[in-house]
Chain A
């Protein structure tokens, strides 16, 4: 399944299944594929990539504060290829569905999105914070661009 696969073939298969939902394709170089998609189809695309295209390893999830929205990048890996799925969450409603049913190892990555960026991951099993401490001021998310250390620890600055 993993042999003879090129970036173009992966692109074609994903487009064949999800069509116009996918946009802004970038084939940066061999083995580096980027694509944007709406959050509504995210879980479906991840499942398709895992089950049909052989992307059976989730390397990590990157989150970043892009000003008007949060951007999430799901880095899926199959032999020789990193598929980077990008999705945007509006700041007013930063919700996304969990993918832990597909990749149980995603749990710490998703908790990190909640703690560090203030995204809401729906369906994440109840558990403790990661990586922030339990007594961290609620509603503060260090990786938001406007956040400063003094917001959480005024005595230290």
Chain B
């Protein structure tokens, strides 16, 4: 059979982020694959050199919409190392708390996407409905669903109240019950098994060689988790397990993530029930002394590493960010080869490449006007009007 090369992406309906995959096909089977990235390069590292540390926090937060807290924590830890700043215990605990809440929201998001990619949209709806529980917790703590802006150099910006603690604990119980259902579904449901078992195979040796990180590595039986292997914040005082799977395929990646949800609930309860007393931040000068530091963090997708060099001014000399997805892309080409064209979306989605989601109705309040809120209906009308004024009439089809 003759070979044919088809490009998948950069823009395509199967995945939500721009990436290009050149697939060499023999019939339906993939015999070669190359990955091309860089379409989303925004020059954030360069932009960091022109901004103060405080401004950079908000820029770094926007490296990723889903793991925003991971990136700011990593950046803060690197900067605090460089400037020899000691962060109060309570602030460290709150960073861990939000980090784990973020992991729960990210893994549930992934579970939904994975369901969608294998044509199991009920799972997608269920997972995303449950994800609202944790997003509400994050909104309650920080005032926002994805960009929490919780970190600052030297600590965190918001404290946890007793009411918030009770509410989060209540919602974790609900989520734990739902997660038990997902575990049952992931390990027993015939559709999931048929689409996930043996697909996107990545043997342990290959995962190690290619530097895979996070759930992708752990599903190939590489027990690499920065929280255990290079403990930061208060992780060395907390009790949790590193989840691995030896099935080395999409099924393993699914199992690792759903069981990691349980570990995250465990961590969240431990942190909330033993929250240390004390201040939540220390005062840090605007100009930081010259130095360098490396932040090392286990983001929901895997190892995140930031390098920060300070030079005695209020701006950094260099900020380097390596997000986990880049480390995992090397494994993708391997996973795709030998597989089938129809499995490409789920294989790529199984490393959980990052994309942003902030779509919702919003409520705006200002101190002078008292505030107003938009219902879903109003927002819809506003959208229709917006396009009508630009010559597009959706009113007939958007009933």
Binding site secondary structure of chain B: mixed
Q: A58-B211, A59-B303, A73-B307 are in contact. Are A131 and B41 (CB under 8 A)?
A: yes
Other-chain contact of A132, B38, B209, B322, B326 (Cβ < 8 Å)? B38
Other-chain contact of A32, B81, B317, B329 (Cβ < 8 Å)? B81
Q: Which of A97-114 contact B (CB under 8 A)?
A: 103-109
| B45 and A143 within 8 A (CB) | yes
Q: How many Å from the CB of B85 to the closest CB on chain A?
A: 12
| B37 and A64 within 8 A (CB) | no
Q: A32-B81, A64-B318 are in contact. Are A132 and B41 (CB under 8 A)?
A: yes
Chain A neighbourhood of B317, CB < 8 A: 64
| A142 and B46 within 8 A (CB) | yes
| A32 and B294 within 8 A (CB) | yes
Chain A neighbourhood of B157, CB < 8 A: none
Q: How many Å from the CB of B219 to the closest CB on chain A?
A: 17
Residue of A nearest to B308 (CB): A62
| A133 and B229 within 8 A (CB) | no
Chain B neighbourhood of A57, CB < 8 A: 208, 211, 224
Chain A neighbourhood of B38, CB < 8 A: 129-133
Other-chain contact of B37, A58, A73, A131 (Cβ < 8 Å)? A131
| A79 and B229 within 8 A (CB) | yes
B330 contacts A by Cβ under 8 Å = yes
Other-chain contact of B294, A64, A75, A103, A106 (Cβ < 8 Å)? A75
Chain B neighbourhood of A103, CB < 8 A: 211
The winner among A103, A109, A131 for most chain B CB atoms within 10 A is A131
Chain A neighbourhood of B292, CB < 8 A: 34
Q: How far is the CA of A82 from the CA of B307 in the complex (A)?
A: 12
Q: How many Å from the CB of A54 to the closest CB on chain B?
A: 12
B266 contacts A by Cβ under 8 Å = no
A-B pairs with lowest CB-CB distance, top 7: A105-B211, A131-B38, A60-B322, A131-B41, A62-B320, A64-B318, A62-B307
Binding site for A on B (CB under 8 A): 36-38, 41, 43, 45-46, 49, 81, 208-212, 224, 229-230, 292-294, 296, 303, 305, 307, 309, 317-318, 320, 322, 326-327, 329-330
Q: Besides A34-B292, A64-B318, A80-B229, 16 other CB < 8 A contacts?
A: A29-B81, A59-B296, A60-B320, A62-B307, A62-B320, A73-B307, A75-B305, A81-B230, A82-B294, A104-B210, A104-B330, A107-B330, A109-B322, A130-B38, A132-B38, A142-B46
